[in-house]
Structure 1
Amino acid sequence: MRVRRLPASVLPRIAGEAWVDPDRRAYLRDGVACVPVRDGCPADEDLPERSVYRGRGYHLIGDVAVVHGDAPTKEEIESIVAHRHPRGVVWVKGCTGAMRIPEAVVVYGSAGEVRHREQGCTFILDPTRVMFAQGNRVEKARIAALVRPGERIADMFAGIGYFTIPAARSGASIHAMEINPVAFDYLRRSIAANSVADRVTPMMGDCRGLLSGVYDRILMGHFEAASFLPDALAHVRPGSVIHVHSIGDATAVIRERLMEAGLSATISSRRVKKYGPHTWHMVQDVRIE
């Protein structure tokens, strides 16, 4: 497979370029993307073809494999173990409540705390105790690419730092808020592990009571984000951008909240990942005018 090696953060910007082979997926490791190229286009390297894995879908978080949805069968677990040899396999049935606590069962080996590397960032967590949104990888890279040094950013649902860490590494000053004390502890440890303590102010509690001042950018990485918009809109100015996550397109609700606040904005929607049959995890970029 002929590839070009590029920083993972540029993936959203190159997706439509003529040299990119749209029939193959980029291979990511430690912040570097090996992007397949079309025949006849220059490449940096010729990698051996990888064997195709046809088993149950899973995410490898650190050295623990995580599966979602229905309970995995014995054969599916064996297939995952043979493919990547994880320390353990965890079945996450779902996440509950405002704190997004996973309902998790260890179905093979052992689990516990991991250090997960993704696009040059280190995240410390226990996937049986806190949620990790592995499917948001491209969105995290997109946010990191959009952020400019010196921006003041509010991350209203910081979790363990999914968006906080990449944005801080891009030079922004982050006000990171998290209500779950377990996730908040991992957030502080991940901040230290990535050496961005000088750019991140973590605060534990309900973000609606922690927002302060005016922000250049507000990250709302929660499916119920639209219901928190009135609080976010009290802390913006013309030019501020709010990234509102949702299940399905939330443009109509966002426009209603903007009207109630006496504000206008341009709104663009994009798909993050498939959430269910005919259902998408979406993000709306709202630029205040």
Structure 2
Amino acid sequence: MPRGYLRLREMLEGILSREELDALPRRWQVIGDVLLVRIDNVLEEHWSEIGDAFLTLYPWVKGVAIDCGVHGRLREPDIRVIAGEVGETFHRENGCIFKLDPSKVIFSPGNLTERVRISKLGGDEDVLDMFAGIGYFSIPMAKHARPRRILAIELNPISFGYLVENIRLNHVEDIIQPLLGDCARLSPEGAFDRVIMGYLDAYQYLEQGIRALKEEGGILHYHESVPARLYPERPVMRIMDLCKSLGRVCEIKQVRKVKKYAPGVLHAVVDAEIYENA
């Protein structure tokens, strides 16, 4: 059992029944001084006590909120504060600093391994980040790999505001060009060595991602939420079939499970090398 869960359970003994203790979450995420957690509905009448227990467990945390998911094309978080206050905070990881408000924009510490991996790629390349958010991928890559340039496109104006500020906080203004708008319209064709599609519903934008790669070839990092029974075939075949219809050659370099996204659903990423058919 995770140590944090055991401590949380111990703190709530005498308040929750045995069945309710067994329903306590095993994992949660801390973003700066905000703790986000998913809690079973059976515990709803005890949300306040659970929130207070988290504040005791993590003295530096100022607010605890239930993560109810993400909704809409702008990827807006749905949270419910159960203890303290949730607002702007600073989150540090992998030598980078991110300013954000978890009640207004998304950030998933569960994707850290993937962000660290991407941060080592793209040196001296032209890179397109089609769903830049607050800079999850662009900023670590700019700081550590030092590409020639990164075009970072974001549709959500609140996320875009944090992206611009985080570029400044991390001193990568010379590398990252932020652009507010829809990547389906704003992604230049044939201009990039590497394209990052870090959005779980990215399939509808896959053609734009492929077309953005240089004719002589480039690397696509394509993310997708996929039922476990369809992994890895569905995301791989989506890329290969579309490349075939566009007259491109595709070589799958790697398929990775980033994390479990939901029961029976995986967050997957496919690395594909794509170039014009000779």
Structure 1 residue 205 corresponds to structure 2 residue 156: no
TM superposition shift of 1:124: 0.7
2:32 maps to 62
The answer (yes or no) to whether the contact 2:77–2:106 under 8 Å persists in 1 is yes
Question: Deviations 1:217-263 (Å, cap 9, x if unpaired)?
Answer: 00000011122111122221333001000012411111111111111
Within 5 A, what are the aligned runs for 1:134-173?
134-148=109-123, 150-169=124-143, 170-172=145-147, 173=149
The answer (yes or no) to whether the contact 1:153–1:174 under 8 Å persists in 2 is yes
Q: Distance in 1 between matches of 2:268 and 2:39?
A: 20
1:242 maps to 220
Within 5 A, what are the aligned runs for 1:46-57?
52-54=3-5, 55=8, 56=25, 57=27
Within 5 A, what are the aligned runs for 1:70-149?
70=40, 73-85=47-59, 86-148=61-123
Paired residue secondary structure (1:214): coil
The answer (yes or no) to whether the contact 1:70–1:93 under 8 Å persists in 2 is no
1:151 corresponds to which letter in structure 2? E
Paired residue secondary structure (1:129): coil
Task: Identify the range of structure 1 (241-250 vs 75-84) with the bigger mean alpha-carbon deviation.
Answer: 75-84
Question: Deviations 1:148-194 (Å, cap 9, x if unpaired)?
Answer: 2x211000000000001011112011100000000000000000000
1:234 corresponds to which letter in structure 2? R
Aligned length: 238
The answer (yes or no) to whether the contact 1:88–1:108 under 8 Å persists in 2 is yes
Paired residue secondary structure (2:242): helix
Paired residue secondary structure (2:4): coil
1:227 maps to 204
Q: Distance in 1 between matches of 2:152 and 2:67?
A: 26
2:16 maps to none
Task: Give the TM-score taking structure 2 as reference length.
Answer: 0.81
Quick one: which of 266, 269, 272 aligns to 2:258? 272
User: CA, structure 1 residues 210+218, in 2 after alignment: closer, same or farther (shift >3 Å)?
Assistant: same
Q: Distance in 1 between matches of 2:67 and 2:88?
A: 16
The structure where helix makes up a greater share of residues is 2
Task: Identify the range of structure 1 (62-71 vs 154-163) with the bigger mean alpha-carbon deviation.
Answer: 62-71
2:155 maps to 179
The answer (yes or no) to whether the contact 1:184–1:204 under 8 Å persists in 2 is yes
Q: Distance in 2 between matches of 1:279 and 1:263?
A: 29
Q: Distance in 2 between matches of 1:235 and 1:158?
A: 15
Quick one: which of 209, 218, 243 aligns to 1:258? 243
Structure 1 residue 287 corresponds to structure 2 residue 265: no
TM superposition shift of 1:52: 2.1
1:179 corresponds to which letter in structure 2? L
TM superposition shift of 1:118: 0.8
User: CA, structure 1 residues 102+69, in 2 after alignment: closer, same or farther (shift >3 Å)?
Assistant: farther
Q: Distance in 2 between matches of 1:70 and 1:183?
A: 29
Q: Distance in 2 between matches of 1:134 and 1:69?
A: 18
Q: Distance in 2 between matches of 1:69 and 1:117?
A: 25
Task: Give the TM-score taking structure 1 as reference length.
Answer: 0.78
TM superposition shift of 1:147: 2.5
% identical equivalent positions? 37
Question: Deviations 1:62-111 (Å, cap 9, x if unpaired)?
Answer: 11111135456344323322221210001121111111001111111011
Q: For structure 2, list consecutive stretches of 5 or more residues without a partner in the other structure.
A: 9-24
Q: Distance in 2 between matches of 1:246 and 1:234?
A: 18
Q: For structure 1, list consecutive stretches of 5 or more residues without a partner in the other structure.
A: 1-50
Q: Distance in 2 between matches of 1:69 and 1:195?
A: 38
Root mean square deviation of aligned Cα: 1.6
1:246 corresponds to which letter in structure 2? E
Q: Distance in 2 between matches of 1:240 and 1:253?
A: 17
